[in-house]
Structure 1
Amino acid sequence: MDNALFVGLSRQMILRREMEIIANNIANMDTAGFKVESMMQKTDPSEPAVTLGGPRPVKFVAPDGVARDFGQGALLKTGGELDMSIEGKGFFQVQTPQGARFTRDGRFTTDPTGRLVTQAGAPVLDASGGEITVDMEKGQVSIGADGTMSQGDEQVGKVGMFAFANPGALEKAGDNLFRNASNLSAEPSVDAKLRQGFLENSNVKPVLEITRMVEVSRAYEQTAKMMDSEAELARRTVERLGRVQ
């Protein structure tokens, strides 16, 4: 296989990964707090497979990580007493068996012991990193813009909202959660406001994602045609050399 086919193959591998990311975006367009992702690429200079007066080095296509747009999604009113959304920059912090995780998904409920938890059962943490317990028999829960939870005149907790100076420090950890993959510390978010009875929609734009999907599909087909042309050219060249000999 010559250099052109190697380069084409590297391009197809990137396009396939990009298609997977786009498909994941579309699949999560209705997932609360989901953040749209896109593929980043770079050139990877490498020594050519065969040197026939061609360029040195040959530049292959290589992945360069996944970009994530943490922009605000639209807020959807649900009226749920424990449904919460963050307006502005910030994340809820939850505790999992693997450690602290962060999310924008505010579909919270209570477990049998009264702890405020995610849909997966992970405890939601307060501003100081502790668990929040609510006795639903004490009456309706009201939540202020700063995260303060009250039942009547009694304050029962304060939902923590945390921010990072560089959101790029966060990596996906499954279940719509992120983990801190850096040495940066999560700081209390001073600008974020909590909205009770609302959920944040994903910031996926379906029309844009479908357009990207069509573009990636066409690019894949064009790369395949280029590789077929190169293979046909090589075949004809071998045939002609055989006639000369």
Structure 2
Amino acid sequence: MDNALFVSLSRQMVLKREMDIVANNIANADTTGFKVETLMTRTEPKNPANTAPGPRPVKFVLDDGVVRNFTQGTLRSTGGTFDVGVEGDGFFTISTAQGDRYTRDGRFHMDTTGRLVTEAGDPVQGEGGGDIVVDPQKGPVSIAKDGTVSQERETLGKIGLVKFTELSALRKTGDNLYSNSSNIQPQPATDSVMHQGMLESSNVNPIVQVTRMIEVSRAYERVTSMMDTTAELSRRSIERLGQVN
């Protein structure tokens, strides 16, 4: 019976991890550019915990990592001068203290020096590198569909967009940013389009995620019930053996 308890415990641990991921998806349903995540699982054969009759080997359930769905989110109008929504598979390049990071979150603004920066204050990189600086003393800023930033007919720079041939190279680092965890070099995303005054919504479907949360919760309860039953059977068996002796 120990084997059943160990297998059930491995399933419980995976379900708890999945619940955390589903809850995070729901919490970020309104986060700009957030991509929905799903837990991958696998079974791994192990030697049984005892020599009692039963299947060999025993298969445990394990966490096999998280995958992200990078499909396009809905573009919504904000009217913000420095809000930029991406249509296509491109990512903005952001310069941080830890190195270049990538994001779909186009909530930009000017810092005190006029640089185009993220919500966290990290500069947005132009095409080929370098900051984009706006003169706060001049007129309105225009951002073209190819990312060209201009002010009073003067070109200030061009917001760069890059793409990855393997999206698995992107590792989440927090603040809606990704790092390149591989040797794959990003390529210019020339087929992507930028929309000024718009932002990309999360691609999380709250109804699907709430439904999945209920399914995971019920699965956890079923496993817990089975473990309680197994433990009770084990207890009764020990009591009967004690009475025989």
TM more than 0.5? yes
Question: Mean Cα displacement is larger for which, 132-141 or 24-33?
Answer: 132-141
Once residues 145 and 51 of structure 1 are traced to their aligned partners in structure 2, the CA distance between those partners, rounded to angstroms, is 68
Q: Secondary structure, in 3 states, of the residue corresponding to 2:137?
A: helix
Which letter does structure 1 place at the counterpart of 2:151? Q
Q: What residue number does 2:16 align with? A: 16
TM-score by length of 2: 0.98
1:28 aligned partner, one-letter code:
N
User: Shift of the alpha carbon at 1:238?
Assistant: 1.3
Deviations along 1:106-129, one digit per CA (max 9) or x if unpaired, are: 000011111110000010001102
Q: Shift of residue 152 of structure 1?
A: 2.2
Q: 1:25 Cα shift?
A: 0.7
Structure 1: stretches of 5+ with no match in the other structure? none
Structure 1 Cα separation of the partners of residues 244 and 202 of structure 2: 64
Q: Name the structure 2 match of 1:115.
A: 115
- Aligned counterpart, 2:197: 197
Q: Give how far 1:243 is off.
A: 2.5
Amino acid corresponding to residue 3 of structure 1 in structure 2: N
Matched residues in 2 for 1:165 and 1:99: separation? Answer: 20
Q: Secondary structure at the match of 2:73?
A: coil
What is residue 244 of structure 2 aligned with on the other side? 244
For the residue of structure 1 that corresponds to 2:62, the secondary structure is strand
For 1:163, the aligned partner's letter is K
Instruction: Name 1:141's counterpart in structure 2.
Output: 141
- SS, match of residue 112 in structure 2: coil
Q: Within 5 Å, which residues of 2 pair with 1:78-227?
A: 78-227=78-227
* In structure 2, distance between residues paired with 1:227 and 1:190: 55
Structure 1 residues 58-77: Cα deviation after superposition (integer angstroms, max 9, x where no partner): 11111000010111111110
Task: Report the equivalent of 1:47.
Answer: 47
The root-mean-square deviation of aligned C-alpha atoms, in Å, is 1.0
Tell me the amino acid that sits aligned with residue 38 of structure 1.
Answer: T
Deviation readout 1:37-70 (Å, 9 max, x if unpaired) = 1111011211111121222221111100001011
| Structure 2 gap ranges (5+) | none
For the residue of structure 1 that corresponds to 2:179, the secondary structure is strand
Letter paired with 1:64: D
Question: How big is each residue's C-alpha offset from its partner over 1:156-187, in whole Å with a ceiling of 9 and x where there is no partner?
Answer: 01000110001111011000100111110111
How far is 1:196 from its partner?
0.4
SS of 1:26's equivalent?
helix
Residue 64 of structure 1 pairs with residue 68 of structure 2: no
Letter in 2 for 1:151: Q
SS at match of 2:4: helix
Structure 1 ranges of 4+ moved more than 3 A: none
What is the deviation of 1:138?
1.7
Q: In the TM superposition, what whole-angstrom CA distance separates every residue of 1:177-204 from its partner, at most 9, and x where no partner exists?
A: 0011111011100211000000111011
The AA in structure 1 aligned to 2:220 is: Y
Query: Partners in 1 of 2:207 and 2:170 — Cα distance?
Result: 27
Deviations 1:117-160 (CA, angstroms, capped at 9, x unpaired)? 00000100011021111113221111111111111221101000
- Measure how far apart 1:239 and its partner are: 1.8
Q: Percent identity?
A: 59
TM-score, with length taken from structure 1: 0.98
What SS does the aligned partner of 1:41 have? strand
Residue in 2 that maps onto 1:235: 235
**Residue pairs, 1:31-42, within 5 angstroms:** 31-42=31-42
Amino acid at match of 2:127: A
